[in-house]
Amino acid sequence: MMIVQIGVGSGGIIVLDLLMRDPRITQLVLIDPDRYEAHNVHRHLFPADGVGRLKVDLAAEWVKRFRPEMTIQTLPVDVMAADAQATINDLIAECAFGIGAVDTEVAKFHVDALMRRHQRPWTLGEVLSGGIGGWVHAFTPGGACYGCVASHLRRSVTLDHDRPPANYADANATVTETRIPASRSAISVIASLQATCTQELLSGKDIGFTSLLLPLTKVDGIFTESLRPYRFQIPRSPECFVCGANQETLSGGELDAALDQALARLAHE
């Protein structure tokens, strides 16, 4: 069985470490553009002497130590890189399951689109800022997409250039949000949960949720109890513009031509 994993950062490597021990998995594709940096060391499985090397290469070597027979293909590219899309699409078409360990909303939507295109199930793990908890989401063909989930959970996207708005009445009225890195133990818990859910799904079992939120610590105003899981069964939304019924069947040149015609009409309104 072939698995495509996008992201081998501090969370992704733990998911990978657990899943690669599953004998059902015989082929891996690892996608991550980053290099291992000194500031990654305290939260990662790779040793300090790996600093400067590509994470996918270090991850492949890690797997080979335990599963020397595993077939591994590494792609040190951004999953959204235009010139890698053909290759990535081909690999996802071949795989049985996808693992998402990415941390930007744009990347999550993109992975979701790739998996949906090829009708592949996949899981996504997310650790909350400060490691106060985390999410595991499970996406199955025909079920809710990441857009349905993000909409249901009322997620917002932070823009890269998003700054506190200027307030000329009070220049100190807004403060930029501070992000606190999660601890290795918090990352490990959520990543392990993602690996466990993945294995259940690989066995054909119903895990009973689309999204699972696990608080790891009590936080006033956010989590009243630690380690109490919240399960969400989020249905696919028929009105969802991301995965919804408006699936135009045109493609390639016909799609371009239809788009050009529609734009020509609106250019002269």
Partner 1 sequence: MGLFDTEVGKRRLLTVELPAIEKYNEGRSSQFRVQAKKVRNSLVLTYHLKPCHNTYQLETRLEANYPIIPPITVIKTPIKLCPHLLEGQTLCLWRQSSTREASRWDAAKFTVVFAIQAAWRWLACYEVWHSTGDWPIPDAK
Please select the residue that binds partner 1; options are 48, 106, 180, 227, rule is CB under 8 A.
106
Q: Which is nearer to partner 1, 71 or 174 (CB)?
A: 174
Quote the tokens at residue 178.
Answer: 């501070």
> Which of helix, strand or coil describes residue 122?
strand
Please select the residue that binds partner 1; options are 34, 72, 73, 85, rule is CB under 8 A.
85
What span, in angstroms and rounded, lies between the C-alpha atoms of 156 and 158? Answer: 6
- Smallest gap, in angstroms, from Cβ of residue 265 to partner 1? 7
The answer to the question of residue 77 lying near partner 1 (CB under 8 A) is: no
Read off the amino acid at residue 148. Answer: C
The answer to the question of residue 171 lying near partner 1 (CB under 8 A) is: no
The answer to the question of residue 222 lying near partner 1 (CB under 8 A) is: no
Give the burial class of 123: count Cβ atoms within 10 A of its Cβ; 0-12 exposed, 13-18 middle, 19 or more buried: buried
Quote the tokens at residue 161.
Answer: 């250039």
The answer to the question of residue 13 lying near partner 1 (CB under 8 A) is: no
CA 58 to each of CA 65, 76, 84, 87: distance values in angstroms, whole numbers, following the listed order: 11, 11, 21, 21
What span, in angstroms and rounded, lies between the C-alpha atoms of 95 and 52? Answer: 30
- Smallest gap, in angstroms, from Cβ of residue 117 to partner 1? 8
> Which of helix, strand or coil describes residue 61?
helix
**Stretches 24-32, 57-65, 207-215, 233-241: which one binds partner 1 (CB under 8 A)?**
233-241
* Among 126, 127, 99, 140, CA closest to 233: 140
What span, in angstroms and rounded, lies between the C-alpha atoms of 215 and 207? Answer: 19
The answer to the question of residue 48 lying near partner 1 (CB under 8 A) is: no
The answer to the question of residue 242 lying near partner 1 (CB under 8 A) is: yes
The answer to the question of residue 119 lying near partner 1 (CB under 8 A) is: no
The answer to the question of residue 259 lying near partner 1 (CB under 8 A) is: yes
**Stretches 21-29, 57-65, 130-138, 151-159: which one binds partner 1 (CB under 8 A)?**
151-159
Please select the residue that binds partner 1; options are 38, 238, 251, 253, rule is CB under 8 A.
251
Determine contact, residues 4/96, Cβ cutoff 8 Å. Answer: no
Please select the residue that binds partner 1; options are 73, 151, 183, 196, rule is CB under 8 A.
151
The answer to the question of residue 75 lying near partner 1 (CB under 8 A) is: no
**Stretches 43-51, 77-85, 135-143, 198-206: which one binds partner 1 (CB under 8 A)?**
77-85
User: Contacts from 172-180 at CB under 8 Å and sequence distance 24+?
Assistant: 179/129, 180/129, 180/130, 180/131
Q: Which is nearer to partner 1, 157 or 180 (CB)?
A: 157
What span, in angstroms and rounded, lies between the C-alpha atoms of 96 and 114? Answer: 13
The answer to the question of residue 256 lying near partner 1 (CB under 8 A) is: yes
Q: Return residues touching partner 1 (CB under 8 A).
A: 80-82, 85, 105-106, 109, 113, 145, 147-148, 150-151, 154-157, 159, 163-169, 173-174, 237, 239-242, 246-248, 250-251, 255-256, 258-259, 262-263, 265-269
